[in-house]
Amino acid sequence: MVGQTKARKAAGVIVQMVKEGKIASRVVLLAAQPGTGKTAIAMGMAKSIGLETPFAMLAGSELFSLEMSKTEALMQACRKAIGVRIKEETEVMEGEVVEIQIDRPALLGAVSKTGKLTLKTTEMEI
């Protein structure tokens, strides 16, 4: 990026504050004239901060909509940026059911039951 020394320094300060935890649960809004490098600075900031930090780009034309207010457009962009990533690992075991044992609750009125399921798998047959 050529030029924009003051803007890059300011962006660096913001990135450092985010990394140090001094700015949390906040939104950074870059506003300036068209063609001044806002998008380039924002993308650089997002890459410097890391993938864990939500990032959304919003064009000025998206704010000036007849369908919704400017505040609602900003709120929607913030909601889109916040993503939930769920990683789940499962282990599937296939085999023949050999035994099912259901343990009855010891206390009267207890609703939960536990049990044990025994499988014969292909690994056991070898």
Buried b (16+ CB within 10 A) or exposed e, 48-63: ebeeeeeebebeeeee
- pTM summary value: 0.51
pLDDT of 126 over the 60 cut: no
Q: Report pLDDT for 1.
A: 54
Residues 73 and 24 in one domain: yes
The phi and psi torsions of 68 (rounded to 5 degrees) equal -145, 165
Residues 102 and 72 in one domain: no
Q: What is the mean pLDDT of residues 15-38?
A: 84
Q: Is residue 110 part of a domain?
A: yes
CATH number of the domain that 17 lies in?
Answer: 3.40.50.300
Residues 73 and 121 in one domain: no
| pLDDT band per the 50, 70, 90 thresholds, residue 110 | low
Residues 45 and 103 in one domain: no
pLDDT (tens digit, 9 = 90+) per residue, 42-94? 888 988 888 777 777 777 777 787 788 888 888 888 888 776 666 778 888 88
What does the alpha-carbon distance between residue 58 and residue 74 come to, in Å, rounded to a whole number?
A: 8
Range of the domain at 110: 96-125
Residues 71 and 103 in one domain: no
Q: How many CA atoms lie within 13 A of 29 on its CB side?
A: 10
What does the alpha-carbon distance between residue 62 and residue 77 come to, in Å, rounded to a whole number?
A: 10
| pLDDT band per the 50, 70, 90 thresholds, residue 13 | very high
Tell me the pLDDT of the chain averaged across its residues: 80
